[in-house]
Amino acid sequence: MSSSRPLGIKKASSAYLKLISAALVTMSISVQSANAQKSSITLENAQKSSITLEDALKRTLSNNPDLVVFEFKSSALDGESKMASLRPEMSVGVEVENVLGTGEVSGIKDAELTLTLSSVIELGDKVSGRMNVVSSKKAQLLTQRRIRTLDILGETTRRYINVIVQQALHKTEQRAEMLARTMLQTVSTRVEAGASSPLEKKRAESALSQARLSLLISEQKLNEYKRDLAIMWGDTNAAFAEVEGTLLSFPNSLSLEQVLSQLQSNPHVLLYADNYRVQEARLRVVQASQQFDIAWEAGIRRMQGIDDTALVASISVPLNTKQRNLGEYEQQRALLDSIDYQKQAKIRELTRQLNQVISAKDQALLTVTTLQDNVVPTLESALKLARDGYESGRYNYIEWVTTQQQLIDMQRTMIKAAGLVHLRSADLEALTGIPVFSDSPSTSAQSSQ
């Protein structure tokens, strides 16, 4: 089996785009270099063009609404950060006493006017605690965005692979139609010469009709898969004629042990570390809230009755603050303790998924290797022998048509198995977020991020 040429993704102006391109650039499709195309290409010219995996990934990144949502979430956290940094507000108060009464306090002759300034002194470094919560949420959001981006680009890659597979199947159906047409011509010649039964001609005509039906269905499926791919960047019609890629070419993949050795850097696992930091910061905020705050008030009072002025001041502190917050502390502590077990469960689930994906990929690769190296070449030779033997009268029609059908079936099986190799490789990248091919240049590109 040949090794694929690494897919070279150009550096984007965005560092984040470089990270995601590095993570998915090593999909096992060997994509040829694309000719430069204008982004405002007309539909007429676009229908004559081809598209690369690099083009598909870039278009998806720049036109997917799921990723735009994270920009709004980031802005929301910026607002939350501003609120978290606020100190307790200052308040101004005015109080009037002993006015508009009766008797000695009638009118305003004995009025008392008090002007105060009040606020709260926060103890326990509560502002820092709130800021740490927001900072942890921002790191958590970046990991969530990375996971979502890998999912989206993984889906784009899978749809891209589906198009490549269907292109290959369509070519196989074209060949099947051509072979059926050639068979009908050969059978008709022998029937006219009286060397074969007219029944064989009817069978050949039926086989040609079936081959043409399969070709039409294959073309419809190809158009469907191309539209599915274009939908990833918001187009309802595929403005390209084909996608580029070598289906029967695979780089050497990493083993399960190699992938598991890097599992701690898996974004799905890293998310639990971010969740832990967020919850830990929340717990510290609860702990800080157990430290009472001091409410203070100070001002000046004018006493009209004795024509004097005096200063006033007061402070107050809540009682039993720690006891009142005990329930919330226990709740946040339980949530924190549960995260580690959630992480362990996720690692086990990822291990199971990775094992299934790698096993399925290896089995599909074995199928492709066997069919490509042994079965298909043997059937190609057998088909030539059957055709020559039929023309010379040594073999009958059934032997020829059976051999031809076996060849077409094995070619279809080989193409579908090759597609499974690439699809499972795409799944592996989406699950791990790391290059799964050791000889890929994206390995060093990712390390530099």
Tell me what pLDDT residue 358 has.
92
**Are the CB atoms for 243 and 163 separated by under 8 Å?**
yes
- Average pLDDT in the 176-184 region? 96
Q: What pLDDT band is residue 431 in, cutting at 50, 70 and 90?
A: confident
Residue 440: predicted pLDDT = 34
Q: Write down the domain spans for the chain.
A: 15-87+122-247+257-290+325-341
Task: Give the model confidence (pLDDT) of 150-166 as tens digits.
Answer: 899 889 999 999 999 99
pLDDT at residue 325, rounded to an integer: 75
Read off the tokens for 262: 């890097």
pLDDT, residue 203, reads: 94
Question: Does domain 15-87+122-247+257-290+325-341 correspond to CATH entry 1.20.1600.10?
Answer: yes
Residue 241, phi then psi, degrees to nearest 5: -85, -35
Predicted confidence (pLDDT) at residue 363 exceeds the cutoff of 80? yes
pLDDT at 10: 34
Q: Tell me: the pLDDT tens digits for 103-127?
A: 666 777 778 889 999 888 888 788 8
Q: Which pLDDT score is estimated for 327?
A: 84
Selection from 105-114, 240-249, 320-329, 435-444 with the highest mean pLDDT: 240-249
Q: 288-292, 336-340, 379-383: which range is least confident on average?
A: 288-292
Is the pLDDT higher at 125 or at 419? 419
What is the Cα–Cα distance from 153 to 161, expressed in whole angstroms? 12
What confidence score (pLDDT) does residue 39 get?
Answer: 38
pLDDT at position 423 is 93
pLDDT in tens, 219-273: 999 999 999 999 999 998 888 999 998 898 886 677 888 888 888 888 999 999 9
Predicted local distance difference test score (pLDDT) of residue 156: 93
Q: Which residue has the higher pLDDT, 315 or 106?
A: 315
pTM of the model: 0.77
Compute the residue count for the chain.
449
* Cβ atoms of 233 and 60 closer than 8 Å: yes
CA-nearest of 8, 11, 6 to 449 is 11
Tell me the three state secondary structure of residue 96: strand
H or E element, residue 313: strand 308-316
Average pLDDT, the chain: 83
pLDDT band at 6 (very low <50, low <70, confident <90, very high): very low
Q: Give the pLDDT of residue 116.
A: 92
Tell me the DSSP string of 50-84: EE-HHHHHHHHHHH-HHHHHHHHHHHHHHHHHHHH
Which residue's entry shows tokens 């650039």?
A: 25
Q: Which range among 130-134, 199-203, 393-397, 432-436 shows the weakest confidence by mean pLDDT?
A: 432-436
In 3D space, the residue among 445, 31, 438 whose CA is nearest the CA of residue 253 turns out to be 438
Q: Per-residue pLDDT averaged across 397-401, rounded? A: 94
Q: Which residue has the higher pLDDT, 98 or 221?
A: 221
pLDDT in tens, 270-285: 999 999 999 999 888 8
Instruction: Determine the pLDDT at residue 14.
Output: 39
Rg (CA), the chain: 37
Residue 319: per-residue pLDDT: 81
Calculate mean pLDDT across residues 323-349: 89
Could you tell me which of 39, 60, 57 has the C-alpha nearest to residue 49? 39
Q: What percent of the chain has pLDDT over 90?
A: 49
CA-CA distance, 438 to 151, in Å (whole number)?
Answer: 22
Give pLDDT, residue 436.
54
Average pLDDT over residues 409-434: 91
Q: What is the pLDDT of residues 29-81, one digit of tens each?
A: 443 333 333 333 344 444 458 999 989 999 999 988 888 888 898 899 999 88
